[in-house]
Amino acid sequence: MSGDFDQKSSVKQIQQRFDHDVERFSNLETAQTATIDAPLTMELITQAAIRSTRKVRRVLDIGCGAGNNSLKLAQYVCPFDCDLIDLSEPMLQRARERVSAINSGVIRTFQGDFREVELPDGSYDIILAAAVLHHLRDDRDWRIAFQKIYRLTAPGGSVWITDLVSHQYKPVQLLMWERYGDYLCSLNGENYRDKVFAYIDKEDSPRSVMYQLDLLRDVGFEHIELLHKNSCFAAFGAIRAE
pLDDT, position 55: 94
Nearest C-alpha neighbor of 43 from the set 69, 12, 5, 16: 69
The torsion angles phi and psi of 55, rounded to 5 degrees, stand at -145, 125
Report the distance separating Cα 163 and Cα 83, nearest Å: 20
C-alpha to C-alpha distances, 76 to 41, 69, 80, 168, 207, nearest whole angstrom: 16, 12, 11, 36, 31
Supply the pLDDT for residue 20.
Answer: 60
pLDDT of res. 8: 76
Which parts of the chain have pLDDT scores under 70?
A: 1-4, 18-31
The pLDDT assigned to 165 comes to: 98
Q: Where are the beta strands (DSSP E) in the chain?
A: 58-62, 81-86, 107-111, 124-130, 153-164, 223-230, 233-239
* Predicted local confidence at residue 137, as pLDDT: 94
Q: What local confidence, expressed as pLDDT, does residue 12 receive?
A: 79
pLDDT of residue 181: 97
The pLDDT, as a whole number, for residue 161 is 98
Give the number of other Cβ atoms within 10 Å of residue 33's Cβ. Answer: 14
Q: Enumerate domains of the chain plus CATH numbers.
A: 5-239 (3.40.50.150)
